Amino acid sequence: MPKRAKVYHRAEEPPRMRITQRDLRILQAVESFRFISGEQIERLIFLKGGEKRSTRCAIRLRKLFDSGLLGRVRWPFQAITLPMVYYLDQGGADLLALKLGVERDAIRSLTRAERRPAISRSLLFLAHALAVNDFRIEVALACEERGFELVKWLNEYELGRDYVQVEHQGRSRQQAVQPDGYFVIRAGERQAHFFLEMDMETTPSKRWAPKVLGLYEYRSRGHYAERFETKSLRVLCVTPSDSRERLLVKWTREVVPAGWQPLFWFTTQEQVEAGGVLTEPIWTVAGEGGRRAVLGGRSEG
């Protein structure tokens, strides 16, 4: 009997496996998300409609790992149980290119920065990536449930950085604009466009203010419309707690002109996880009272 491999070591004799359509969906999801936990893969691909049941997801992921198609991120310590996080390994990228009939360069690999141990093992980096994933999965499942179409999702690396000039505290500076995600939803004949900012309570006021000023200037000066060929945009800001949400709303209102404050919408991770991310009134709009839904027009207060 072959010796059982350790968590971060592949089996010396990987089991033979037949690649299924679901395996290809897993590889495509991992490529798109770049870093994704086993639990998130299970929710996205193995479970339907929020059901809770036992699946063979972990077994399948172990086989894909042992076969050199997926890689596992090694957490920086041993004593704490944390989610298993996967990325697309070179073998998986090669297989995807072959099965999809595309050039190998069309399959996105990790950036050089992501391959650096200091980055790939950072708790904050991975926590932020998984939080963005949770939101993206909620949006994808909500679209599926409501009959909407998730037309596009671009992560921060696909977006790259643009720069705008901002004025803050009497000084002019170049501000990078690189949201954590950009996505488009089609609901009937309507298309809605969004930026995502996932806050982890680590950004102080002196950094938050230039960030939202940059997003405001990017939209108001026409740079956004020039790149994305639309003026439709809402910036969705998700944060861990109600108190932090109130603080971000306050900081945003202090620096963004009143007429542009409704560009920024705020909610908490708990509200998102409760469901209704698109159609329930869980969002606070800067400069307005009560809560609103991003689609469907529902509001409270």
Q: Is residue 79 situated within a structural domain?
A: yes
Residues 140 and 114 in one domain: no
Residues 176 and 188 in one domain: yes
Q: What is the mean pLDDT of residues 51-66?
A: 89
The residue ranking higher by pLDDT, 80 or 20, is 20
Residue 83, pLDDT score: 85
Least confident of 50-59, 98-107, 173-182, 219-228: 50-59
Task: Report the alpha-carbon distance of residue 31 to residue 29 in Å, rounded.
Answer: 5
Helix axes 21-33, 90-100, angle to 10 degrees: 120
Residues 264 and 277 in one domain: yes
Long-range CB contacts for residues 286-290, cutoff 8 Å, separation at least 24: 286/249, 286/252, 286/253, 286/256, 286/261, 286/262, 287/253, 287/258, 287/261, 287/262, 288/261, 288/262
Q: What is the mean pLDDT of residues 258-284?
A: 95
Residues 63 and 178 in one domain: no
Confidence band for 1, pLDDT divided at 50, 70 and 90: very low
Decide if pLDDT at 112 tops 80.
no
DSSP bridge partners of 71: 87
Residues 117 and 194 in one domain: no
Residue 118, pLDDT score: 53
Residues 105 and 253 in one domain: no
Question: DSSP letter at 9?
Answer: S
Residue 113, pLDDT score: 67
Decide if pLDDT at 68 tops 50.
yes
Q: Which two tokens stand for residue 235?
A: 């910036």
Q: Is residue 57 situated within a structural domain?
A: yes
Domain range enclosing 195: 125-300
Residue 299, pLDDT score: 62
Residues 213 and 115 in one domain: no
197, 176 Cβ separation under 8 angstroms: no
Q: Is residue 4 situated within a structural domain?
A: no
Computed over its alpha carbons, how large is the radius of gyration of the chain? 21
Residues 37 and 180 in one domain: no
Report the share of the chain in percent with pLDDT over 90: 72
Confidence band for 4, pLDDT divided at 50, 70 and 90: low
Q: Is residue 14 situated within a structural domain?
A: no
Report the share of the chain in percent with pLDDT over 70: 90
Q: What is the mean pLDDT of residues 71-76?
A: 81
DSSP bridge partners of 88: 70
Residues 91 and 137 in one domain: no
Cα of first residue to Cα of last residue in the chain, in angstroms, is 65
Residue 169, pLDDT score: 85
Residues 270 and 295 in one domain: yes
Average pLDDT, the chain: 90
CATH number at residue 83: 1.10.10.10
Q: What is the mean pLDDT of residues 200-206?
A: 93
Residue 7, pLDDT score: 77
Q: Is residue 13 situated within a structural domain?
A: no
Residue 117, pLDDT score: 57
DSSP string, 146-175: HT-EEEEEEEHHHH--EEEEEEETTEEEEE
Q: Is residue 10 situated within a structural domain?
A: no
Decide if pLDDT at 121 tops 60.
no
End residue of a domain, out of 94, 121, 148: 121
> Each residue of 242-259: pLDDT tens digit?
999 999 999 999 999 999
End residue of a domain, out of 71, 93, 121: 121
Residue 275, pLDDT score: 85
Residues 195 and 270 in one domain: yes
Q: What is the mean pLDDT of residues 221-240?
A: 97
Decide if pLDDT at 301 tops 60.
no
Least confident of 11-15, 110-114, 197-201: 110-114
Domain total of the chain: 2
Residue 50, pLDDT score: 63
Residues 70 and 84 in one domain: yes
End residue of a domain, out of 121, 150, 175: 121
